[in-house]
A and B are shown apart, each in its own frame.
Chain A
Amino acid sequence: MLKILKQKAVSAPLLRAVVLSSRNYSVSAKQMNVREALNSALDEEMSADHKVFLMGEEVGEYQGAYKVTKGLLQKYGPERVVDTPITEAGFTGIGVGAAYYGLRPVVEFMTFNFAMQAIDHIINSAAKTNYMSSGNISVPIVFRGPNGAAAGVGAQHSQCYAAWYGAIPGLKVLAPYSSEDARGLLKAAIRDPDPVVFLENELLYGEYFPVSEEVLDAGFSIPIGKAKIEKEGKDVSIVAFSKMVGFSLKAAEILAKDGIDAEVINLRSIRPLDRSTINASVRRTNRLVTVEEGFPQHGVGAEICASIVEDSFGYLDAPVERIAGADVPMPYAANLERLALPQVEDIVRAAKRACYRSVPMSAAA
């Protein structure tokens, strides 16, 4: 990476001073949206390992239902980018079978809501098989697709499955937020010998994030099971994943104006959950807010709360605040949908409650 910087410096002498003096803000930082990040990760992994292949509805000729697999059919051909009939159970089963044999399928679900039709194969065929076959049959498969709420798509298209898959031993569950997360985690997932559930977010696909040269390198990957501290702080820890990380960062800006220095943690990995990073953070700030879009009962926040109580109870100065989606199937009407999902104001209020600043208890609309 240093070599590349040096080369840039040599070829653009005018910029040399700028490059060397502003190392923290890469002037040459590319902006990449999550869709491009995923596409480039798939492309690079497919070219690096001929065993990797894609499967899913509309991934080929349609260029992907969300255009994540754009251009890949043209580049790799129909044998490696397989358009499937509409049968999640079918193509998930086929993907698992191919993985049993030793190929590395990346199975796309149009959304994880539809993956419920294939969930037996994900859990009983993929997650448990390495264990039940005493290590003889490994399942190096990746299940990916949009998860959680989009905008105005109703109950059967908006559920978050992080908690469901996060409960299953044998699976790894990842939830990227930024383009860097998307690239690094997807590459790690494809290279991983275990089955990985990769929960993307439809609304993040078009969002741009800066990516450094290191991120753009074909060998880049992010270790699975490590959370990232997006913003350091000392007053309250806000733990979130996927889209809610963005909301939490915005909430942190608002809280900063009120003198509350929030630390924002991007989980990146639901299973394995990075308990040590969360605990270390809470031991510094003594207050915790968890944020998720999914249903509250048995959610990711519940697990984080239990983990803190088990490991760092004495460090808590306030009860853990849990922000989650409303305990209702997602309504369609825009005003109701807004109320059913956590908003930035909810995170701000929760952080203030955790810091014992007086705010009304109910989240008034």
Chain B
Amino acid sequence: MAIYRLARSRTITRFLKTKICPFENIHERFITPNHSLFDAYSSYKTLAADFTRKPHELWDKTANILAFRRFESARAGEQAEAVAYTDDDDDDENQEQDPHDVVQAIDFPGGRVTFTPQIKFISESTDKRVPCYRVLDDDGYPIPGSRFEQVDKETAVKMYKSMVTLQIMDHIFYEAQRQGRISFYMTSMGEEAVNIATAAALSPDDIILPQYREPGILLWRGFTIEEFANQCFGTKNDSGKGRQMPVHYGSKKHNFVTVSSPIATQLPQAAGIAYSLKMDNKEACAVAFTGDGGTSEGDFHAGLNFAAVMEAPVLFICRNNGWAISTPISDQFRSDGVVVKGQAYGIRSVRIDGNDTLAVYSAIRAAREMVIREQKPILVEALTYRVGHHSTSDDSTKYRPLDEIEHWKTARNPLARFRKWVQRHGWWTDEEEAELRGSIRKQVMNAIQVADKTEKPSLKELFTDVYDRLPSNLQEQEKSLSETIKKHEQDFPADVPL
């Protein structure tokens, strides 16, 4: 139903802008030999008589309207109504207001829209990018006029200590992989603030669905360094029974869903968990992480779209660290980052400086509160930088300049920035720094040494948990295997406990 007409010359454009025509004049004004919009306008004229009807009940947004609205949207297709009403805002203040001025709007499935007589495309980009919320400058001084949630000494010190622990743990485990002691590792270097400040801002009841660069959340919630080591080494003390490759942590008691390798699968899952929390009336939300690369996956679209439609309390946090292995964000999307995608799904979104511990803390606190109070999703884009390689299987110097990495490692280091703020408050000293670093180093090294020597999981863990109960075929296989082992004991590897 093309009610508008393409402006073919300046005079017509100005004509259209100044006079919004009442129904009876449309026919005369827009007739041209080449275009026949007659059919549209003639039916429009008969419908015009209906415009006095005001079906307000259609637009009533009561809670159980969800089912109701679908019936209505089907009905709207049958009778497209023309509703005209006077427009109070004047487009063009220079013009005298014509008493016949009406702004026309029309009902389509999805709601009422006003129409415009000129084509106007929404630009693919805005002049100004969406600004990011930042509280501390690079030297750790609060930016004048900044508003943030105050943290007390205990929280601030705990946050800083956890960031240091995460950093040291990452360094040493990475080295352990290089030495061949574990098969694989991924660091979170450069993203310590996103990890720890987010964890601090959430409640322990919030269910975390990580991507794979969020071990800091587990750390904050009480996962010990020994537990991290046991998972990476796949020992018998691993609560994961040695089933997963390194850094694929999971902990039910810490409400941290096991890391799953395929990218972005956790996003629709988060909507499902959030929906369940909502059905249970819990004062908690689901928190799902993804990187910039993960937003290209189909699951990102499905997860966000669904969470919005189902009004599920999910907090989506995108760690935009600039790189998806070797793919820079210029090759990942052409939008202004990830924050603008939220609106496309009807999701409130915010962009924050992910390397600013206090900004992350305040923003996540605010976002979480909104998610739970309003029971709808929110998208947070945390801008940061992936200082380390993607993983131990990657050498990022091959695709990005060394000085870029150095710059983010030193000048833009989130730890240094926050440390300055904490120390300035008198809550931390250089001596405590040295002591902390020394003791964490020792603890991590010790954990690695112990884990390295610890026995691996027993053979029976090969067969358990495939199903809730051991199925008969696996029982047979287990029996047959143990009989074979008994028969050929000397050939069975010594490092597999029975």
Q: Choose the segment among A36-44, A98-106, A289-297, A341-349 that binds chain B (4+ C-beta atoms closer than 8 Å).
A: A98-106
* B interface residues, how many (CB within 8 angstroms): 55
Mask of A72-92 contacts with B, CB within 8 angstroms, 1/0: 010000110011110101111
Known: A78-B66, A89-B302. A102 touches B276 (CB 8 A): yes
Q: Choose the segment among A120-128, A203-211, A321-329 that binds chain B (4+ C-beta atoms closer than 8 Å).
A: A120-128
Inter-chain contacts of B303 with A (CB < 8 A):
90, 93-94
Chain A, 101-142, CB within 8 A of any chain B CB: 101-103, 105, 120-121, 124-125, 129-138
- Closest-by-CB residue of A relative to B66 is A78
Known: A130-B466, A132-B243, A134-B240. A87 touches B272 (CB 8 A): no
Nearest chain B CB to A170 CB, angstrom units: 5
Mask of A172-204 contacts with B, CB within 8 angstroms, 1/0: 100000000000000000001110000000000
Question: A134, B270: Cβ atoms under 8 Å?
Answer: no
User: Is the CB of B29 closer than 8 A to any CB of chain A?
Assistant: no
User: Is the CB of B265 closer than 8 A to any CB of chain A?
Assistant: yes
Give the CA-CA distance A311 to B266 in the complex, in Å. Answer: 42
Give the CA-CA distance A97 to B299 in the complex, in Å. Answer: 13
Nearest chain B CB to A174 CB, angstrom units: 14
User: Is the CB of A317 closer than 8 A to any CB of chain B?
Assistant: no
Question: A90, B464: Cβ atoms under 8 Å?
Answer: no
User: Is the CB of A301 closer than 8 A to any CB of chain B?
Assistant: no
Question: A97, B258: Cβ atoms under 8 Å?
Answer: no
Inter-chain contacts of A170 with B (CB < 8 A):
466-467
User: Is the CB of B188 closer than 8 A to any CB of chain A?
Assistant: no
Nearest chain B CB to A126 CB, angstrom units: 10
Question: A79, B279: Cβ atoms under 8 Å?
Answer: yes
Question: A131, B243: Cβ atoms under 8 Å?
Answer: yes
Question: A98, B276: Cβ atoms under 8 Å?
Answer: yes
Give the CA-CA distance A220 to B239 in the complex, in Å. Answer: 38
Partner of A87, one of B305, B310, B468: B305
- Closest-by-CB residue of B relative to A86 is B302
Partner of B67, one of A60, A133, A192: A60
Partner of B260, one of A79, A89, A105, A125: A125
Known: A124-B260, A129-B258, A136-B250. A89 touches B472 (CB 8 A): no
Nearest chain A CB to B261 CB, angstrom units: 8
Question: B472, A135: Cβ atoms under 8 Å?
Answer: no
User: Is the CB of A56 closer than 8 A to any CB of chain B?
Assistant: no
User: Is the CB of B298 closer than 8 A to any CB of chain A?
Assistant: yes
- Closest-by-CB residue of B relative to A127 is B466
Partner of A98, one of B260, B262, B275: B275
Give the CA-CA distance A170 to B265 in the complex, in Å. Answer: 18
Q: Which of A85, A89, A172 has the most chain B CB atoms closer than 10 A to its own CB?
A: A89
User: Is the CB of A96 closer than 8 A to any CB of chain B?
Assistant: yes
User: Is the CB of A146 closer than 8 A to any CB of chain B?
Assistant: no
Nearest chain B CB to A109 CB, angstrom units: 15
Question: A93, B275: Cβ atoms under 8 Å?
Answer: no
Mask of B240-279 contacts with A, CB within 8 angstroms, 1/0: 1101100010111000011011100111111111111101
- Closest-by-CB residue of A relative to B258 is A133
Nearest chain B CB to A279 CB, angstrom units: 13
Question: A130, B262: Cβ atoms under 8 Å?
Answer: no
Inter-chain contacts of A125 with B (CB < 8 A):
260, 262, 265, 269
Question: B299, A93: Cβ atoms under 8 Å?
Answer: yes
Q: Which of A85, A100, A134 has the most chain B CB atoms closer than 10 A to its own CB?
A: A134
Question: B467, A130: Cβ atoms under 8 Å?
Answer: yes
Known: A94-B271, A100-B257, A172-B467. A61 touches B67 (CB 8 A): yes
Nearest chain A CB to B276 CB, angstrom units: 4
User: Is the CB of B497 closer than 8 A to any CB of chain A?
Assistant: no
Chain B, 439-487, CB within 8 A of any chain A CB: 461, 464-468, 471-473
User: Is the CB of B207 closer than 8 A to any CB of chain A?
Assistant: yes
Q: Which of A90, A138, A169, A192 has the most chain B CB atoms closer than 10 A to its own CB?
A: A90
User: Is the CB of A233 closer than 8 A to any CB of chain B?
Assistant: no
User: Is the CB of A272 closer than 8 A to any CB of chain B?
Assistant: yes
Question: A97, B269: Cβ atoms under 8 Å?
Answer: yes
Question: B275, A94: Cβ atoms under 8 Å?
Answer: yes
- Closest-by-CB residue of A relative to B238 is A134
User: Is the CB of B70 closer than 8 A to any CB of chain A?
Assistant: yes
Mask of B373-392 contacts with A, CB within 8 angstroms, 1/0: 00000000000000000000
User: Is the CB of A152 closer than 8 A to any CB of chain B?
Assistant: no
Q: Which of A82, A97, A135 has the most chain B CB atoms closer than 10 A to its own CB?
A: A97
Question: B471, A272: Cβ atoms under 8 Å?
Answer: yes
- Closest-by-CB residue of A relative to B209 is A97
User: Is the CB of B7 closer than 8 A to any CB of chain A?
Assistant: no
Question: A194, B467: Cβ atoms under 8 Å?
Answer: yes
User: Is the CB of B301 closer than 8 A to any CB of chain A?
Assistant: yes
Partner of B265, one of A78, A99, A105, A121: A121
Inter-chain contacts of B267 with A (CB < 8 A):
93
- Closest-by-CB residue of A relative to B257 is A100
Q: Which of B248, B260, B272, B305 has the most chain A CB atoms closer than 10 A to its own CB?
A: B272
User: Is the CB of B47 closer than 8 A to any CB of chain A?
Assistant: no
Question: B276, A101: Cβ atoms under 8 Å?
Answer: yes
Inter-chain contacts of B130 with A (CB < 8 A):
none
Nearest chain B CB to A39 CB, angstrom units: 20
Nearest chain A CB to B69 CB, angstrom units: 11
Known: A85-B305, A90-B306, A121-B265. A136 touches B207 (CB 8 A): no
User: Is the CB of B40 closer than 8 A to any CB of chain A?
Assistant: no
- Closest-by-CB residue of A relative to B268 is A93
Question: B471, A90: Cβ atoms under 8 Å?
Answer: no
Nearest chain B CB to A140 CB, angstrom units: 9
3 smallest CB-CB distances across A and B, nearest first, come from A90-B302, A97-B272, A93-B268
Residues of chain A touching chain B, judged by Cβ–Cβ distance below 8 Å, are 60-61, 73, 78-79, 82-85, 87, 89-103, 105, 120-121, 124-125, 129-138, 169-170, 172, 192-194, 225, 272, 275
**Contacts A96-B269, A121-B265 supplied; 7 other A-B pairs, CB < 8 Å:** A89-B298, A90-B306, A98-B273, A125-B262, A130-B465, A133-B243, A136-B258
